[in-house]
Amino acid sequence: MKQWFLIILLAITLQGEAGILGTKGMYQVADTILARLASPDYPNTLENVLEVYYARAEPSEEAIGLAACAILSPWTPGPFFYAYGDGDVSRFGWRQGDEVLCGHGFCLHLAREWPGR
């Protein structure tokens, strides 16, 4: 039962953070979440890691499927620990990401280290 709760919680976050970018964007956000879970520098529970991801939206089937994969069969994450949008760059003065994925008027920044200056 708890696994389904975590899948839905993650799917809601993925959809809100990067749903506009489709599977690729949501995968990148999921990857940063898995990277944090694997690192001793971040909380070790999904619920605690998700507290800092603030966007939420009704999840699509795609988001639910991706979240299920991340929970039930997690992959080895890439090098990025931070995923943030252009709004964060302009509002907080954060640097551009090490990689940037754009589409539909939205850019997702991925960074290895804290983007704040």
1 pLDDT more than 90: no
117 pLDDT more than 80: no
Q: What is the pLDDT of residues 37-94, one digit of tens each?
A: 999 999 999 999 999 998 999 999 999 999 999 999 999 999 999 999 999 999 999 9
Can you read off the two tokens belonging to residue 69?
A: 């994969």
Helix 2-18 / helix 22-38 crossing angle, nearest 10 deg: 120
Q: Do you know the residue count of the chain?
A: 117
User: Which domains, and CATH codes, for the chain?
Assistant: 2-111 (1.10.10.2520)
4 pLDDT more than 80: yes
What is the mean pLDDT of the segment spanning 8-12?
A: 98
Alpha helices (H) in the chain, listed in sequence order: 2-18, 22-38, 46-50, 61-72, 86-92
What is the mean pLDDT of the segment spanning 1-29?
A: 96
Could you give the strand order of the β-sheet that contains 106-111, starting from the edge strand earlier in sequence?
82-85, 106-111, 99-103
Nearest-angstrom CA–CA distance, 54 and 17: 8
pLDDT of residue 78: 97
Nearest-angstrom CA–CA distance, 48 and 85: 21
